[in-house]
Amino acid sequence: MKKIIVTTTINHPTEAIELFDSAEGFELVVIGDKKTPTDYKLRRGTYITPDDQEKRYPRLSQLLGWNCIQRRNIGFLVALEMGADIIATVDDDNVPHPNWGRDLLIGRSVPVRQYRCTAAAFDPVGASNYPNLWHRGFPIQLVAARDYSDHVKTVDTVRIQADFWDGDPDVDAICRMIHQPVCRFDSAAFPFTSRCIAPFNSQNTFIDFRLMPDYFMFPGIGRMDDIWGAYYLQAATGVRPVFCHASVVQRRNVHDLTNDFSLEVIGYERTLPLLGSIADDARNMFAYLPGAAVAAFLEYQEIARSLVARRAQA
């Protein structure tokens, strides 16, 4: 089974990148950007320069634009070209624990706690030992009404594994401003899933390669890029993520929380109606996206589908 880690960076190799580069049983692909140091080097992994990206995927590169984390979509395609069975999408400020990638559940049928949520979305963070926090991209209008009382034990075949993050967790700017959280998540709460659609991020998540044509980080929507991509994937496929214990420590790159807030306003305003819309058809999300983002996704999806189909025929 081939397992490939994909990330983007504008920094010299960080502690996290060096550890991911040495992760046993994984290969690392780093997608560069215009701001990435020109002398960027990895010990084992593959670094894809801006020039390489433009040669490989000229139209997608143009549609995505530069100096944005959404360049990671190109990394997903590179991983599919390399024959990945599992793609791990990570950030360069999430330092892996020693056990990172060793409790991999993709393709396995495992016992999980399933929350029988009836709301428009399920917040995974509130199901942990930090019930006062909530996941970035979870509709803020639903925070006060979260209910975790109804759950059952079941067996789930895992196709999306979203691991948590100790340290500075993936919460939104409002939650971070109010609570200033530093977390150590209790592993006893995991693994779990829900019947409802749920946010998951691109910073510590493992995905079955066959789902990749429907997973995309949308440009032009601020800090909802990966979250709305996660919602689209679930609406298009019916697959729900299984959330697992923290396997990284997030030592968050410097952020201006006021700027983060401004980049999340689109989510505060539009995620709840979007969820209602895509419940009928995932492609209804296109009405909430800039035209260039839709064009980029369709270009990416066509390439990803052909790569997955090629694997099926091999």
Looking up residue 267, the CATH number of its domain turns out to be 3.90.550
What one-character-per-residue DSSP string does 86-136 give?
Answer: EEEEE-TTEEEPTTTTTS--TT-EEEEEEE---SS---SGGGTT-TT--BT
Counting Cα atoms < 13 Å in the Cβ hemisphere of 95 gives 10
Tell me the per-residue pLDDT of 171-206, one tens digit each, with 9 for 90 and over. Answer: 999 999 999 999 999 999 999 999 999 999 999 999
List phi, psi (to 5°) of 305.
Answer: -65, -40
Q: Above 70 in pLDDT, residue 9?
A: yes
* SS3 state of residue 84: coil
Tell me the per-residue pLDDT of 32-61, one tens digit each, with 9 for 90 and over. Answer: 999 999 999 999 999 999 999 999 999 999
Q: Above 90 in pLDDT, residue 254?
A: no
* SS3 state of residue 164: strand
Q: Based on the structure, what is the number of domains in the chain? A: 1
* SS3 state of residue 265: helix
Chain-wide mean pLDDT for the chain? 96
Whole-number pLDDT of residue 48? 98
Query: What domain range is 96 assigned to?
Result: 3-313
Measured between alpha carbons, how far is 200 from 153 in angstroms, rounded to an integer?
A: 21
Tell me the per-residue pLDDT of 138-152, one tens digit each, with 9 for 90 and over. Answer: 999 999 999 999 999
In the structure encoding, which two tokens stand for residue 243, read together?
Answer: 């959330």
194-207: burial string, b at 16+ Cβ within 10 Å, e else = bebbbbbbbbbbbb
Q: Above 70 in pLDDT, residue 275?
A: yes
Q: Above 70 in pLDDT, residue 314?
A: no
Q: How confident is the model at residue 68 (pLDDT cuts 50, 70, 90)?
A: very high
* SS3 state of residue 298: helix
User: pTM for the full model?
Assistant: 0.97
